[in-house]
Amino acid sequence: MVWCAVADVGAAEVKITGGGEYKDRKGIHVRAYSTFPSLVRLAEGRLLCYDMASQDGGRTWSRYQEFGFPLSDATRPHRGSITTLQDGEVLLVGRYTRKHERDADIYVAEIYRSRNHFAGYTGPTRALIHVPSAVAGTDEYGMPVSGPFFEQSIVELPGGDLLACMWGWCESDQTPSGYPDRWEKWRLKKSRTLLVRSKDRGDTWHYLATIAADPDAGPEGFRLPSLGLLPDGELLCLMRNGDGAMPLWLGRSRGDYTQWEKPEKINAPAVFGELLVLSDGTVLLAFGKPLYVMASGDGGRTWGSEHKMGIGTRTGQAFTGRVTLVEVSPGQVVCVYNDVLDLHARVLTVTSE
């Protein structure tokens, strides 16, 4: 049994055990030729990952429909943020935005919706994103982009408003990347992380706050964020600011989420990070390459890093680093991750003592 315990004596001890059938250090096979995990739990309990579905909590997967999720295929440009809203509607928002044809402070993203357990969907329609002073830049792959990106998670507040993370650049962000080759080849500048809010279920979004924008904090600027909402209303934002051994960062905010504490480093190396707040308030963090999962029983203030759980992969030191997490029932979590060019899953059990 592999376990992870939170070190702080004031917090509950959290244990993580891995479940499922594994052969040759591989997890449960989900899908071939995919490197960007995309996972959502429908209101009736089914899990969807692209065109694959699981009806038994992630232990087996089979083809679901003749179509897969739009904005969620295995290719780099076609990604998006996916969530199931409280009333069961599935909302998909495209990662990349483009300039509005008339208004300089508005950007446009594609959105899709499904109200029938994804038996079908509508879209694309246009979502309007109001972000004053945002400017064009270069994404993490060196491709020119028109404006800020939606990234990973969308959080629904108790009253129905939606919060989402974006990252990109404003007019004042002129600091070159701390990686000289990326500056020379791509003119990549250090980025910032933003919070936007929607009061109409994702059709329009308005800038709410800058979560982090310190050009001296790391070589990349803050990017690739992931949100988590704690039971007491505190909002967490996980961010990357550098490759490899560079640490991930965690910011937090309360109230109307317009003011954010200065982000703090986490003892977890970057590449990619994903937060998940469980139904009992436990916070899971998946990170690194190779991939690890660790837990916090006190809202992300302390982590059981000395007992982090390694996710077994085909190669041991695999091409992992992209991951998504979903709670399928209290304490039961499915972790889908890329291993070389395939997607695999682990079924995790999380207990607090």
Q: What is the CATH number of the domain that holds 22?
A: 2.120.10.10
Which tokens belong to 293?
Answer: 């999962």
What pLDDT, on a 0 to 100 scale, did the predictor assign at position 256? 98
- Structure-block tokens of residue 250: 């965690």
Residue 9 placed within a domain: no
| Cα–Cα distance, 17 to 1 (Å, whole number) | 6
Judge whether 2 lies within some domain. Answer: no
Strands 235-240 and 162-170: unpaired
pLDDT digits (tens, 9 = 90+) for 211-220: 999 999 999 9
Taking only the tens place, the pLDDT of each residue in 75-128 is: 555 678 889 999 999 999 999 999 999 998 999 999 999 998 888 889 999 999
- The span from the CA of 122 to the CA of 128, in Å, is 17
| Interatomic CA distance for residues 49 and 64, integer angstroms | 9
Token pair recorded at residue 143: 């491709």
Across 338-347, average pLDDT: 84
Give mean pLDDT, residues 165-185.
94
Measured over all CA atoms, what is the biggest interatomic distance in the chain, rounded to whole angstroms? 58
44: in domain = yes
Percent of the chain whose pLDDT exceeds 90: 63
Task: For residue 3, tell me if it sits in a domain.
Answer: no
Per the structure, the complete domain to which residue 306 belongs is given by: 14-352
Six-digit token pair at 297? Answer: 């029983």
pLDDT digits (tens, 9 = 90+) for 227-285: 999 999 999 999 999 987 899 999 999 999 999 999 999 999 888 899 999 999 999 99
Q: Pick the residue with more confidence: 287 or 22?
A: 287
Task: Give the pLDDT confidence score for residue 4 in this predicted structure.
Answer: 46
Reading phi first (left if > 0) and then psi (alpha if -120 to 50, else beta), residue 183 is in alpha
- Size (the chain), residues: 353
Q: Is residue 79 in some structural domain?
A: yes
Given pLDDT bands bounded at 50, 70 and 90, which one contains residue 9? very low
Helix (H, G, I), strand (E, B) or coil at 75: coil
Pairing between β-strand 122-130 and β-strand 204-212 as defined by DSSP bridges: parallel
328 has pLDDT over 70: yes
**Are 249 and 239 in contact, with CB atoms under 8 Å apart?**
yes
d(CA 271, CA 233): 28
**Residue 283: exposure state from Cβ atoms within 10 A (0-12, 13-18, ≥19):** buried
What is the mean pLDDT of the segment spanning 327-345? 89
The pLDDT value recorded for residue 2 is 35
Residue 182 · residue 142 · CB < 8 Å: yes
Judge whether 83 lies within some domain.
yes
Minimal CA–CA distance to 63: which of 94, 30, 22?
Answer: 30
The pLDDT-based confidence of 73 (bands split at 50, 70, 90) is low
Q: Is 8 inside any structural domain?
A: no
* Residue 137: predicted pLDDT: 94
pLDDT at position 13, please?
74
Reading the block at residue 41, the tokens are 């739990």
Q: Report the pLDDT averaged over residues 8-17.
A: 63
Which 8-state DSSP code applies to residue 284?
A: E
Whether 68 has a pLDDT exceeding 70, the answer reads: no
Residue 4 domain-assigned?
A: no
233 versus 9: the higher-pLDDT residue is 233
How many whole angstroms separate alpha carbon 173 and alpha carbon 131?
A: 14
- Structural domains in the chain (count): 1
Fill in the DSSP letter of residue 182: H
Residue 195 has what pLDDT? 98
* pTM of the shown model: 0.92
Beta partners for residue 130, in sequence order: 106, 206
